[in-house]
Structure 1
Amino acid sequence: MSSLVAEAVQAEIGAYEPWPDNACLYQPYQVEQITFPDYATCLSVKTFLHMCSLDFHTELRINAEEMSPSGKVPFIHVGAFLVAELDPIIAFVNTRGFHLSRELNESERSEMRAYMALIENILVNAELYLAWVDETVSEEITKPRYGYVHPWPLNRLLPWQKQRSMKARLKSISWSNKTIDEVCEEVKTCCQALSEKLDNKQYFFGTRPTELDALVFGHLYTILTTRLPVSRFAVIVEGFSNLAAFCKRVEENFYKKFGREY
């Protein structure tokens, strides 16, 4: 009951502060600079906002990370507010009266949050591992992209610092010493769980999308469409036909139908 009251209050607050026409999402340059883990996160946020039918425009900045209040991308600028990363953005949008998961009961919402945590704990870490720990991908793709917009010697120094930071993060959760085979098994386990949950439904909780759908699409679509010298993650995702079909469905319903960019 208390959650219903909170939602009613949030909706009322949102009613007094309509979503502005000049809302803006900031991210790194997409073609030259952004790394594929950051692209997945940015795509998840964009998809969430599209699913809420909220207007925004995208601003590309070479220093988007430094501009972000959390040091992570993407972040949105709405009125007087700067909000970074998916979970805080979801919470902020909820205060404006927009709730994708409004129709879910408490048990379903708990389940949704558990699957979102699964993605954060496996897919996000797997993407960081592939981007920064796998030597081929890090040297051929990630580090050159991350340093692309900076002059020498920053184009060498900043990617090295970022790689050291990402390796330290993965080491703290015992991921840095995994082999690529072990990481692929983690990805397969995650995809298996998502595939079983989705089954033959349109979205994970029926006929209407939730925050989970936005998060899953952002990461799986990025894995499927990003060209990397190591394609094992994409092969795993393609092995689950309902997940691949889900990505095409979201792409059609929230991007192609409206002529939106990815």
Structure 2
Amino acid sequence: MTLMLSVPLTLSNFSCYSPVCIDSSHFIMSLAAEAFVSQIAEDQILLSDCASSLAVQAYLRMCNLPVQVSYRPNAEYMSPSGKVPFVHVGNQVVSELGPIVQFTKAKGHSLSDGLDDVQRAEMKAYMELVNNMLLTAELYIQWCDDNTAAEISRPRYSSPYSWPLNHILAYQKQWEVRRKMTAVGWAGKNLEQVYEDVSQCCQALSQRLGTQPYFFNKQPTELDALVFGHLFTILTTRLTSDELSEKVKSYSNLLAFCRRIEQSYFEDSQAGSSSRGYSKGPSLF
């Protein structure tokens, strides 16, 4: 049977930044077969989708589920939630990291079974922090900052489509995100306030991580995968300004954390890869 994990086109380093497809003939029994990750085309994916896709790929690798990448320009429209990535196994379709974690757990693969109830509640709280702060900041910068929207987001998002559909879809997406910013109380913010929110989030993550290799001692959990996906993508994606990545670079233990996960779970797949799109390169250093 086929497990498809989908994401939009990438502007970052890892091939996982796009729709993801995981092929596993023994998935129901072991979930340990090879996973084929499909992404939306390389020149299409934006920062937030890159981060979400990398988080899922990191999680699957931490579960010892190997991943290969294929490309899907319409992954967003294939997803049941309209968000990437998603997994497709038989007649089951699951999108986004949280539900994918629950899905793999039901198949016998979990990274957080060793946590007690207090630790599990703390892990979920930090995951909410990342989603509410970092993901929202990424969306804001992509679509609410006029320079970024005009120079990067609209051209990349609309790149697979011809005129006039390309303009219609890009402005529709921008309108949707701006409406979401209004709903969550971010519409009145300026860029400096958004950068400060990112800095505060990174400070909280840095304090929780401390000198540990992972957020909960020596073994990674889905929180580590989520944080890595967002921080690594921020660090390795070119935007119209470096201010976002500079906020992350202020925390040396978070940089070491990203490098540790990159070395442990991704460097075997970096051989022969090259820098693409708006990526700064295949690694942090």
The answer as to 2:91 corresponding to 1:84 is no
State the distance in 2 between where 1:21 and 1:203 align: 26
Residue 59 (structure 2) aligns with: 48
Residue 142 (structure 1) aligns with: 153
TM-score by length of 1: 0.90
1:1-262 alignment, distance < 5 Å: 17-19=29-31, 21=33, 23-29=35-41, 31-257=42-268, 259=270
Secondary structure at 2:87 match in 1: strand
State the distance in 2 between where 1:98 and 1:64 align: 25
Secondary structure at 1:171 match in 2: helix
8 A Cα contact 1:23 1:76, kept in partner: no
User: 1:62: how far off?
Assistant: 1.0
State the distance in 1 between where 2:136 and 2:76 align: 19
Q: Is the alpha carbon distance of 1:54 and 1:79 closer, same or farther for their aligned partners in structure 2, counting shifts above 3 Å? A: farther
TM-score by length of 2: 0.83
8 A Cα contact 1:24 1:76, kept in partner: no
8 A Cα contact 1:126 1:187, kept in partner: yes
User: 1:183: how far off?
Assistant: 0.6
User: 1:155: how far off?
Assistant: 1.2
State the distance in 1 between where 2:28 and 2:238 align: 45
Structure 1 runs not aligned, ≥5 long: 1-13
Secondary structure at 1:34 match in 2: coil
Structure 2 runs not aligned, ≥5 long: 1-25, 274-281
State the distance in 2 between where 1:258 and 1:36 align: 21
Secondary structure at 1:143 match in 2: helix
Q: Aligned residue pairs: how many?
A: 248
Secondary structure at 1:176 match in 2: coil
58-67 or 235-244, which deviates more:
58-67
Deviation >6 Å, runs of 4+: none
Secondary structure at 1:82 match in 2: strand
8 A Cα contact 1:23 1:79, kept in partner: no
Question: Cα RMSD (Å) of the superposition?
Answer: 1.8
Letter aligned with residue 39 of structure 2? Q
Identity level (%) = 44
